Amino acid sequence: MSANIAELELRRAASKLGGGQKRIDAQHAKGRLTARERLDILLDEGSFEELDAYVTHNCTDFGMAEQKIPGDGVVTGSGTINGRLVYVYSQDFTVFGGSLSEAHAMKICKVLDNAMKVGAPVIGLNDSGGARIQEGVASLGGYAEVFQRNTLASGVIPQISLIMGPCAGGAVYSPAITDFIFMVKDSSYMFVTGPDVVKTVTNEVVTQEELGGAVSHTTKSGVADNAFENDIEALLSVRDFFDYLPENNRTGVPERPTEDAWDRIEPSLDTLIPPSANQPYDMHELIRKTVDEGDFFEVQPTHAANVIIGFGRIEGRTVGIVANQPMVLAGVLDINSSKKAARFVRFCDAFDIPIITFVDVPGFLPGTAQEYGGIIKHGAKLLFAYAEATVPKITIITRKAYGGAYDVMASKHLRGDLNYAWPTAEIAVMGAKGAVEIIFRGLSAEEQAVKTAEYEDRFANPFVAASKGFIDEVIYPHSTRKRIALGLRKLRNKALENPWKKHDNIPL
């Protein structure tokens, strides 16, 4: 072997070792894998091609000149997931605690630049103690360089962040800009300021886990989209998730073979809606029985569960699903559910993913908490998102579609392409009892009951809306999948453009 090749091998080996065996063991002891092990799980076997393995920092302060480790705390490059190209970076906690130096940041920027050039998604595995303090402002500049690229890439290529260790301070804003954030339970946390600072400033005592753990962010804040049990489950799940996403905003959704018949009939759906209007049912059942093979990747399942969002496939092609969930708060729209669904609708629209909306919504949640919290603006986000979306939009009203919430949930008026209703649908300005109280004031209880029954007869069905063309057809519940599949085939070449603008001004 020539000396040059020996040198290459030596350097590669040095780079691969990261922070050394002792630090690797410490990482393992915490139940966490190393940056490279994580990539081994995420990517197809042997597909990872590394970039910048020999990059080191150029800091000389505080004795850093003597401490250089090739790679500088982040492993970057590209590979494939089920054969499809993806760019990746994986922060290496064994090297300077994964802290972000200028050089470290530039490696991430190179990955983002390359991905943007070729139109491939980026997956970032975050495990970093934060800024490289020794570098000071250079590190801050590095963060901002990443933020800028994340922002420009937004809506062009899918960006996914996995939080697999600490992610604090400025570091949180890169994942925050990306499309999806996944976390690992009991081993990852995200916050702008940690418990110590919180204690000093506000006197509030809180643990890392409570403040910014996976459970907090996937239930309370909604910052993260899903929480997984451990590194392996998280990475394998992201592989599954990646399979739904298009490579970029021009390629359209991926397609894969399925044996699930497009016209599969589901007789059990004919009895999904309970006989009593006040009885809830699980909207997940309808979703699972509609999509291919019952496979539904739910996003944010534990946050604002009154609306369900996630990806499925019809005839092997990805669709985005938005659905009210009668099991939680009767499926009402509130601040959190509006924000959750709005961002998802915009993701789907940006990446050419058709949107299927299942509607059973009694309206918007009333109350001071909601009004003071700005439900007007937040509800408007969802309205805006649906109204601006130009992808194929198919809407199925299963039961209630009341008031403004009817308009919001991908109604015909918001350029819904196919708006179907089940025979159990009730499309009305409000529930019968409330309506009667307003139309006929001062009636006796008996008179009110009579009028309520009249109002129900008139509006507690889909046919008034259908007579105005707001509903294209009233369909059998059992044929829902078939109708959607057929609709999507017909809408495959849908062309619709919004007027030119620099960008819109969504009510943020």
Applying CB under 8 A, which of residues 14, 26, 40, 209 lies at the interface with another protein? 40
Closer residue to another protein, CB minimum distance, 138 or 286: 286
403 in Cβ contact with 364 (< 8 Å): yes
**What is the gyration radius of the CA atoms in the chain, in angstroms?**
26
Q: Which of 316, 373, 404, 434 is catalytic?
A: 404
Contact 99, 131 (CB under 8 A): yes
Of the candidates 71, 77, 124, 169, the residue annotated as catalytic is 169
Q: Does 278 bind another protein (CB under 8 A)?
A: no
**Residue 44 near another protein by CB under 8 A:** yes
Q: For residue 144, give Cα distances in angstroms to 109, 139, 154, 269, 356.
A: 10, 9, 15, 51, 37
Residue 268 contacts another protein per CB under 8 A: yes
Helix axes 480-490 and 283-290, enclosed angle (nearest 10)? 60
Does 136 help bind another protein (rule: CB under 8 A)? no
The CA distance from 55 to 74, in Å, is 10
Give yes or no for residue 269 binding another protein (CB under 8 A).
Answer: yes
Q: Is 404 in the site for another protein (CB under 8 A)?
A: no
Q: Can you state the angle between helices 445-459 and 432-439, rounded to 10 degrees? A: 120
> To the nearest whole angstrom, how small is the minimum distance from the Cβ of residue 132 to another protein?
27
Query: In terms of CB distance, is 236 or 450 closer to another protein?
Result: 236
Where do the H-state alpha helices sit in 203-315? Answer: 208-212, 214-215, 231-242, 283-290
- The answer to whether residue 469 is catalytic is no
Measured distance CA(253)–CA(361) in Å, rounded: 29
Residue partners of 191: CB distance under 8 A and separation at least 6 = 168, 172, 208, 211, 212
Catalytic residue among 405, 425, 435, 465: 405
Among 95, 146, 224, 272, binds another protein (CB under 8 A): 272
In three state form, how does the secondary structure of 343-371 look? HHHHHHHHCCCCEEEEEEECCECCCHHHH
Q: What is the DSSP pairing of strand 393-402 with strand 418-421?
A: parallel
219 touching another protein, by CB under 8 A: no
When the beta carbons of 267 and 367 are compared against another protein, the nearer one is: 267
Interface residue with another protein among 145, 270, 352, 437 (CB under 8 A) is 270
Q: How far apart are CA 144 and CA 171, in angstroms?
A: 10
| Phi, psi (deg, nearest 5) at residue 68 | -125, 130
Nearest distance from C-beta of residue 190 to another protein, angstroms: 20
Q: How far is the CB of 311 from another protein (least distance, A)?
A: 14
329 binds another protein (CB under 8 A): no
Binding of another protein by 260 (CB under 8 A): yes
- According to CB under 8 A, which one of 140, 232, 474, 491 is a site residue for another protein? 232
446 lines the binding site for another protein (CB under 8 A): no
Three-state helix/strand/coil letters over 22-90: HHHHHHHHCCCCCHHHHHHHHCCCCCCEEECCCCCCCCCHHHHHHCCCCCCCEEEEEEEECCEEEEEEE
Residue 169 annotated as catalytic: yes
405 in active site: yes
The binder of another protein chosen from 18, 23, 33, 75 (CB under 8 A) = 33
Q: 3-class SS at 416?
A: coil
Q: Which of 6, 7, 28, 390 binds another protein (CB under 8 A)?
A: 28
CA 273 from chain centre, in angstroms, equals 28
Q: Which amino acid is at 495?
A: A
Candidates 5, 63, 66, 83: give the one binding another protein (CB under 8 A).
83
Burial of 271: CB neighbours in 10 Å, binned 0-12, 13-18, 19+: exposed
Cα–Cα dist 10/12, whole Å: 5
Q: Does 285 bind another protein (CB under 8 A)?
A: yes
Residue 444 CB, nearest approach to another protein (Å): 26
Give the residue, chosen from 20, 136, 141, 294, that forms a contact with another protein under the rule CB under 8 A: 294
Q: Does 228 bind another protein (CB under 8 A)?
A: yes
Minimum separation from the CB atom of position 464 to another protein (A): 25
Does residue 210 bind another protein (CB under 8 A)? no
Our finding on whether 37 is near another protein (CB under 8 A) is: yes
Is position 294 annotated as part of the catalytic site?
Answer: no
Q: Catalytic positions, please?
A: 169-170, 404-405
Residues that bind another protein (CB under 8 A): 28, 31-33, 37, 40-41, 44-45, 80, 82-85, 186, 228-233, 236-237, 240, 243, 247, 251, 254-260, 267-272, 275, 281-282, 285, 292-295
